[in-house]
Structure 1
Amino acid sequence: MPDLVIRFQKPEDWSEPVRLHYWDAEPGGGGSQWPGVTMTAEGSGWYSHTLPGARSVRLVFNDGAGRQTGDLHRRGSGWFDGERWHDSRPEPGAAPPARPAQGRVKASKPQPRKPQPKLTGKDFREETIYFLLTTRFYDGDPSNNFFCRDRIRFDPATGEAIDPHWRGDFKGLIQRLDYIRDLGFTAIWITPPIENRSGLDYHGYHGYDWTRID
């Protein structure tokens, strides 16, 4: 069985070394650990890696510094130039094959390609994420406390509503950012703050109006 040879042309703004992260290699279903295996430089910006005995694979190219391609799939050896696969090494500046025109075609002036935005910051997969339910986290503004409209607790002596279910808010989250940072976390994941189906659905996962904050 022939080997599967994957080649990639490194963009100019990528760091080195170039890495290949792959999974679901067939046959066998093998894969690499992120960020993947280091590819071998072949010159002229091309890098390669050989997967012995493989026929197809799912893969991502990356530079270990936050830059990467989308999820790709390849059956058989090939060259990926950052936009498309080729069965053989593409010539420098080669354009993709044109489709035959049907009917009359009006020529237009070629437009310059917009530069791809550069990623900033670290790879989000390396962050330590603190998960929280905003309304249960910290009360930063008591004036917006809200009694659950489906289950309200009353003081039997005064008949007044007590113990509002919804207390936490964004002000409280902002006030406690230092606390989260001091715990060692570098990112925050909050539950969806959209309008919920009922008063008991404070967690955000029964949302029905994505245009309103609950």
Structure 2
Amino acid sequence: MRVDFDPANMPARDFYRLLTSVVVPRPIAWVSTVSPDRSLPNLAPHSFFTVASTDPPIVQFTSVGRKDSLHNVEATGEFVVNLAPEPLFAEINATATDFPRDEGEFDAVGIAQEPSLKVRPPRVADSPAAIECVLHATLGLGDSTVVFGRVVHVVVDEDALVDGRPDIGLLRPLARLGGNEWSTIGDVRELARERYEKRD
């Protein structure tokens, strides 16, 4: 027997908890930005994140509510998506704290930063990969804003590359699940796609 859930008959927060327990696992965009005056770096995890387009390369993340990341991206037109790796689990979670706008997460949590190549927001120095972006567009949807960023540069630690390609076992990305649950990469299975003409 199945249980039915109707968003029209549930409080929005309760349906949000349901939806984020079903749409799993979700990759994490650990987004670094700078304040409108370019003086203060900001860093926050966003678990609604994916690739939006391959040509041109565009990634997207969603700000639920109007968080500092969104304010900064709208003001400066730039951001960096840092891969959220398992060894930085505690730090990633700590940057989700609602720090005052005048307090930067890099310093508050003790996260090392490094300059980006093509945008002003810094990268997380200990993240094995980072995607530098300029703002392409935003789309408001109810209480949320989808941020689309055109990718202008990607950097990957050489120790995380195998035959010139990022290796999932070396990147060790975290993902969000429902409630306060997180996941690691777990078992990785490989299966090539079949071409139609090869089918019996």
Task: Name the TM-score, length of structure 1 as normaliser.
Answer: 0.22
Using CA pairs under 8 Å that are at least 6 residues apart, name the structure with larger relative contact order, 1 or 2: 2
Q: Which has the larger radius of gyration?
A: 1
* TM-score normalised per structure 2: 0.23
Give the structure with the larger strand fraction: 2
Structure having the higher helix fraction is 2
